[in-house]
Amino acid sequence: MKTKRIGVGILGVHPDKGWATLAHVPALRSLPADYEIVAITSNSPDNARRAAQRLDIPHALSTTAELVAHPAVELVVVTVKVSNHFELVTAAISAGKAVYCEWPLGVDLEQAEAMAKLARSKNVHTTIGLQTRAAPVFNYVRDIIRDGYVGDVLSTTLIGSALAFTGSNIRTNRIPIFRHLWTGRIRKCAGSIRISQS
């Protein structure tokens, strides 16, 4: 029995770069029986139009309000900076749309709890993208730190790479993701790790 594909709207699609363009669009397109990307927004209407044209997405919308109100959008994917998550996730949940949000969910625990409470009250399905929790390299690093192999961690540098999918051309981009020196507290926050200077 064939089921209906889920209509997806993505917030934060750039025509040439970014996590949505490099990861979310190709991942969703790899599951064509399940998902159909029907609408996108970007940081400007022009970027949204260019991205929709380049990525062959039917609707380039100017605002979050337009995207969450679009009748073909059932699932909203939030791929923007964390500082914007609360506003965008709240708008999608309030519109009754399911939400997939990149991590961390909010800038602090209070935001995350408020969004979770709203989702429960609206009976809306939500999930947070925690794909790195299952990545072998992160599990290996966790294990060697836990086992005391590296001693006390005083500094880290994390260099990530992403595949850029542009038609049939695939290239690897090395992107400096995270560079932080700390001597103080680490606390769990909204599904991620917050590192505080002391």
Question: Nearest Cα to 40, choosing from 72, 83, 86?
Answer: 72
pLDDT score of 187 = 33
Question: Do 115 and 106 meet the contact criterion of CB atoms below 8 Å apart?
Answer: yes
pLDDT score of 173 = 36
Q: In a 3-state reduction of DSSP, which class is residue 114?
A: helix
CATH classification code of 6-131? 3.40.50.720
Task: Name the residue ranges covered by the structural domains of the chain.
Answer: 6-131, 133-195
The pLDDT averaged over each successive group of 10 residues in the chain (198 residues) is 84 92 90 95 96 97 97 96 96 97 91 96 92 75 86 75 44 32 31 35
Paired tokens of 142: 């966790």
Look up the pTM and report it. 0.71
pLDDT score of 150 = 81
How many other C-beta atoms can be found within 10 angstroms of the C-beta atom of residue 94? 13
Question: Nearest Cα to 137, choosing from 153, 160, 154?
Answer: 160
Question: Do 74 and 97 meet the contact criterion of CB atoms below 8 Å apart?
Answer: yes
CA distance 102 to 192: 11
Q: Who's near 194: CB < 8 A, 6+ residues apart?
A: 186, 187, 188
Question: Nearest Cα to 133, choosing from 58, 192, 92?
Answer: 192
pLDDT score of 109 = 93
Question: Do 15 and 50 meet the contact criterion of CB atoms below 8 Å apart?
Answer: yes
Question: Do 41 and 12 meet the contact criterion of CB atoms below 8 Å apart?
Answer: yes
How many other C-beta atoms can be found within 10 angstroms of the C-beta atom of residue 28? 20
